[in-house]
Structure 1
Amino acid sequence: MPNDGSRLCSAHFISGKQSRNPLSPDYVPSVFPDTTSPDKKRKRTALERFEKREALKLRRRENAAKETAAQALMTLQTEALEKVQMEQDLQEEAAETLLSLQVHQPSMSCQSAQQASTSTSSPSDTVSAASIELECRRLLEENHHLKETVEHLSLSENSFKDDDKVKFCTGLPSLTLLQTVLQEISPFLNTHPKAVLSKFQQLLMTLMYLRLNLCNQDLAYRFNVNCSTVSRTVNSVIDVLYARLVPMAVFWPEREELRKTLPIVFRSVYPKCTVKSQWNDQVTKGPSRKHTPVTRPGIP
């Protein structure tokens, strides 16, 4: 009888080792000398189906966890923005009230004249006016700070003044280059009056999609739009970038220069290897990512 010290050869399992999952075909040994080839093949197929199901379950759990984390992050960001906006409204209302009270108070020059002319003015009035003025200045400074905080959290053009932030989000080295790219493709972006995203946000969303490999749902939370808007915007901007920037940024050397720098392997097998550009056809047919430069060996 087997006991705790008993061992079983791994050759009796389909995959070569035991599985701890009771649903797996390798939970118990099933390969023995009397097992026929069709039975082994059938068991191996069952193991492959089981592994595929487990991998699919794992991917679904990971995707669900990512979506839950993105939704929780967006919820926290929205709550923070709403709280900041509420505090900002309260501070603005308090500042307006204090300013209206300050308008009704006598000016400092008038108070000085009254103090010089009469000695019956109360010092408590002067202290009250000074405290109100200090409180008003404090509220104005706090209001300005809250506005800067809201602008920093928003994905607007004013919040991307730091080159490090631009490089992390878009992959471009500086804000100047980002503005240059935007200026080049701006006439070809969506200019509908009711467009939810500005031209800068359309380009920023596309570059973040390419640079950070973010999913559509994450970008939808960040920019407060629908997933369909994200997909439509990214596809449109990529087409514009391909049509406007690739002909300007990709330069094909002349045939003589290519032949001078051919690798040794190409020189012996394809001595006339060169590149034929098809941008002229693209200009007449319009932007399309299907038309790419083709390398053809042996073109004279």
Structure 2
Amino acid sequence: MSSAAADRSRRMAPWLLSGPALVLFLAMLLAPLLLTGILSFHVFDGIGTIDESYSLKNYLEILSDDYYHEIFLRTAGMAGAVTLLCVLLGVPETIILSRMRSPWRGLFLVVILAPLLISVVVRTLGWAILMGNNGLLNEAMLWLGIVDEPVRLVFTLTGVIIAMTHVMVPFMVISVWASLQKLDPQVEQAGLSLGASNFTVMRRVVLPQVLPGILSGSIIVFALSASAFATPALLGGRRLKVVATAAYDEFLSTLNWPLGAAIALILLVANIIIILGCNRLVERRFRQVFDS
């Protein structure tokens, strides 16, 4: 075999080895999306059957109806609030956790990741019990004198955000933890030895190095929160709809599969646009701050 053929074989080897898995992944990912996209252009006749004709009716209905505007805005606000809370809670939590010694670090890491080990339905029902009018949270606030009467948290957006934050914080912790493992402690100590304050070291040394973890964690949290179904459905109820529950109702309640498919695809596209836009904006802002 000539040297050129050998070089070509070496270049093609990774593609040949990963090809079957890549084809399977693309088929499992793209095929359902393609079928959903085709379905979204069909027309529902209102009596339980789907017309074979193609139309933009479903998309025009979603984009022109204030009812769907409210649902999408509520979903974006919920996902944004959960992401912000996860950053405010998860980043300091991870930094403190990384500075703990064994065995406390491992113990608290397990406690933080514990919500991922519990079924989403069981976890959500537990929050419903905690946040009920006679639940532990209201009983504690009444006993401490914070409120004079029980605060309504179940079937409200506030309650959904609290429960969603509880389960999404571990994703932020995992992402930031991976970035912190690459941080050289000697760089931080060098900044302190040169006279910088702890705040300056945190802002100029630690945060720039964990920023990729914060960004990746924010993307994961926002995407999962925007597409979450179980927690908003159980804690939000039928009236507090988000995009996922609206699509679910169209598929299984009204049987309007094309409209449900259109809602799901618009959510996917909106998720991608928001995530990419916020990612570029935050990276640009942080680059300006740390370069100044």
TM-score (norm 1): 0.23
Q: Which protein has the bigger helix share?
A: 2
Q: Which structure has the bigger radius of gyration?
A: 1
Where relative contact order (Cα < 8 A, 6+ residues apart) is larger, the structure is: 2
TM-score (norm 2): 0.23
